[in-house]
Structure 1
Amino acid sequence: MLKSPVLPRDLPLFSDDLDLLSGVLDDVCRDRGLARDTPAAEVIGALLIQLYRQGVRDKGKLAALARAYL
């Protein structure tokens, strides 16, 4: 039997999680004049997922951290 711990990064993202992250990504991309299908938007999306899995669940905080990253 495998006895490794379940880490937050291993948990699935559900529809509500993805809706929140997608909305934040839309806001940040709009503010920065980025299209969602650009490499920069993909990097921001990956960052948002990483932050979310680390416990940042507030939409405003996620957006602020993503904007600071740019």
Structure 2
Amino acid sequence: MVQTIKSRSPVPLDSRDLDICQQVFDKLRSEYQVAKDSDEAERMASIVIELYRQGVRDPNHLRSMVEAARGLFETSDR
């Protein structure tokens, strides 16, 4: 099922929300070997949070959208 982006939620993220965002960020950062304290990591984290606030809650979909936003597309099966 295709998930559509809703309007940005004004509700603060709770610990479960942040856990999902952190897991997606950590997986992407590790996979693409992005240094934790780099500008790229900061941009990637911002994209993760913004998409999550806009309603992208499925971790796999969130990850795919972050990859697309960064211009990274999977070229092999995982």
Q: TM (normalized to structure 1)?
A: 0.82
| Identity in percent | 37
Q: TM (normalized to structure 2)?
A: 0.75
Structure with bigger RCO (C-alpha 8 Å, 6+ apart): 2
Counterparts of 2:36 and 2:26, CA distance in 1: 7
Aligned to 1:31: 31
Structure showing greater Rg: 1
**Any unmatched runs of 5+ in structure 1?**
1-6
Q: Is the helix fraction higher in 1 or 2?
A: 1
Moved runs in structure 1, 4+ residues, more than 2 A?
Answer: none
Aligned length: 63
Counterparts of 2:33 and 2:16, CA distance in 1: 25
RMSD: 1.1
